[in-house]
Amino acid sequence: MKKMHKVINSIGSIGFVMISFIGISQPTGSGVTSNDLQLNTITTAMPFLAITPDSRAGGMGDAGTALSADANSVYWNTSMLNFAKSKSEIAVSYTPWLRQLTNDIHLSYVSGYYKFNERHTVGGALRYFSLGNITFTSDQGDVIRDDKPNEFELVGAYAFRTSERTSVGINGKFAYSNLTGGLPVAGVDTKAGVVGGADISFTYRNDDAKIGGTNGIYTFAATINNIGNKVKYTNVGSNSPGDFIPMNLKIGNSFLAEFDKYNNVVFAIDIQKLLVPTPAFYDFNSDGDYILMSGMTNDVGVIAGMIQSFYDAPGRIAEDEGGNYIQNPDGSYQVVKGSKLKEELSEINIATGLEYWYNNLFALRGGFFYESKNKGARQFFNFGVGLKYNKFGIDISYLAALQRQNPLANTLRFTLRMTLGEGGSTSASAKPE
């Protein structure tokens, strides 16, 4: 009982730290209130590439970048695979998507890895996203045909261990998005979107870390996901810029606290940011011309767009008492002081999670994900459970949205994992993978 009391107290302390991180992550300052930023959500092509596929991270607020290695690390952080205890593993995940809106959209994900030795690991994954049944009609409402739009992604992964505590990883990927079946839309011919992309990742792991008097494993990880070409779904405007895919920077930290041979607790926190240009603010000037009022054009290349994403927020245009935009002497438009910086900070998402393991057989999970209200307002709690026996494991997670009528509410995820080759031990001293 004394040991269990210690575990509960430690979990409470870590939970307090989680709440503190969430509180300080909400940007303020420069005299700008929350009403000084307009809704300015960043949208991308192929958003299915950024949907969390597995139930473990899905039960921990989507904080998966620095979690211990398993087959789903191919999505979260390939460089982590070199620290896996098992020689190989396969995982299958299934997620009914947008259950509040429809019952025929789903995401399926299969992933796995194989360790040649302590320095070299390869892996792969297949992601399939079905958008359900859609009936295409003409302008007059006549049925043309029924179709099942879908998207998929193929990934090849390689991890190389650079030292006892560090590892790097790289993924090559191909993604295909067929949303219209080649049918004309509004008189415009359409085509499938095709992407060639890559992920890069880095992990530092210290197996001899200590926080206070608690021994454990500390992990720092960083990834850049979905570095790839822009997507076009039509041939109209051959010189048009196309749409960015969801390129994403994730920086993760985790600490696995080893209380005794039966009780382990993992605390994880991710900082995530889309590396995609922020939409600029356009409007009509006093002469009736449609012009860029603030921000920067997104008609740039992929690498330039990734760099630009750190400083291109338009902020909010200042208005006089009559509601007219205020111009500077040089003809530019005045921006509310501090609103550009605040908007940049509001593009940072925070994901936090806790995972408790008993005897490496049973897990309880919880987490929270925060996204600014002017950038999409995804704010939700996650809960999950996990069971392991011998070489098999099953994870289930549930998403509880904070807003009413949120289409993500009540999202369930299911994952089945199977360890192959060495590993799969259920001994009391084994650490969660």
Q: List helix spans (H) across 166-299.
A: none
316 close to 339: Cβ distance less than 8 angstroms: yes
Q: CATH second-level architecture of 2-275+348-420?
A: Beta Barrel (2.40)
Give the pLDDT confidence of 296-333 residue by residue, as tens digits.
Answer: 998 899 999 999 999 999 999 988 888 888 888 888 88
Helix (H, G, I), strand (E, B) or coil at 157: strand
Average pLDDT of the chain?
Answer: 85
pLDDT of residue 30: 37
Which region among 225-234, 280-289, 406-415 has the lowest average model confidence (pLDDT)? 280-289
Give the residue from 245, 240, 317, 232 showing the smallest Cα distance to 274: 245
* In contact, 359 and 428? CB cutoff 8 Å: yes
Q: pLDDT digit string (tens) for 384-403?
A: 999 999 899 999 999 998 88
CA pair distance 130, 109, nearest whole angstrom: 12
Say which residues have a Cβ less than 8 Å from residue 322's Cβ, sequence separation at least 6. Answer: none
Cβ atoms of 415 and 72 within 8 Å: the answer is yes
One-letter amino acid at 274 equals L
